[in-house]
Structure 1
């Protein structure tokens, strides 16, 4: 199986290049080789590689900047996946695409399941939903893997920001009324590889994705916390001599250009039905920081 992997230098893409090696020949590209804002280049690369499977973790992820750059965010998050799906269908290939908890408005009291109605409340979420819908409309065999609060030891993410600030400040004021499941990028990559291997063993990856095992899956760590709780755990594991005080604040005390869902918890029940169990967020964080 030949796999075309986008965004190889991103958090998830970097880990996927390692995790997917056992499944076939991985052709990994970065932005310089396949810029998702250049739709013609996207088509050209896919036609040159002729993959059996496209794995697309690349995305426009600057949530607040998307409010002022909605057209660029839509091109990368919505239009580029549409092109990928169209080209994959022509090749008889499948596509794995990563999406987000931000397709929901966060008003549900319990964890979101894959069939819950979507209702994004910011531009980033709207563009990611557009990508999901384009792939579904193309009629191509697909997996859409929604994840949330992704972190790792490279790139830009909440974990690295907190670790830097913890060494600089005596107090960290962190939002305590938004809830979700912090998810290590390595967990996302390894679970993706396990899912692909499981589908391949059943009836072939593309064939399985075209049937009842295809569609949307929620892929996050288990357990639930707030940004404040996440920060406390990061600080607890941090190797710094003097640890800052972590103070809980309300969302209104830390205004940002883009609205955030209050509840970002995603149910992993569909993954568990395939006997794929995600680690608890605290356990994964300890491994990441350790």
Structure 2
């Protein structure tokens, strides 16, 4: 193994991580795919590879498509709502894209949002691959066609279908991080205090609450409407505040989210879609398997910076 092989792979790893995570919605699955791409790269005849980045993206994308096809049946039988695994993007590299100008970074941030990843789950593996490569990373259609071994015309058709599907289903949200963080913190305060009126002032009339409990306790069906969502949060918020949980605002999937920890370990994540100054959707992730990696990602040593729900 030459040092050059490692250096080249590490140079392009952020893009590979970004493609794999957006394709699969799980950090562990993305890491497995990128590791397999590394094994194939290390065993390849690299002298014949003219464009390492293109080669590595092609391998990673094909591996991700295969993995997505394998896990689809398990996700369809999932108990409760399957939500993507939250990714720390503020304290860790942001799901792996090259840092560009402000517009490019905004596009990359949106492409890793929980709201968009939820919509991408409804695409076919090929549609998802085309959407990720084209919309998130700006690959030319000709290059995507080579990656997927399809004609350019077929890839353009896949891209059109995926784009229309996403446009129909993707919620709009405010991109101003300051406004989103402020509303997230007000949401936490109202929920922990059990302040139903305060919650109703923050919730859009057609707000929806999605939860992914795994084996933990949480609703297994979507809750619709401000009244039902508000009453649920007002009922469980004080319980959370008195259950030795500590809350703090962190950046997950490109936006502010609430991380609840118990004895330094992640217990729950609350992420909000915000538009027009109101909460349009609430995502609650309690599946322990999807939270374990956040312990290292956000840093257990920062617990003292959190806000305790008890005594508010």
The reply to whether TM is greater than 0.5 is no
**Where on the TM-score scale, by shorter chain, does this alignment land: which range?**
under 0.3
Using CA pairs under 8 Å that are at least 6 residues apart, name the structure with larger relative contact order, 1 or 2.
Answer: 1
| TM-score (structure 1 length as normaliser) | 0.27
**TM-score, normalising length: structure 2:** 0.26
Structure having the higher helix fraction is 2
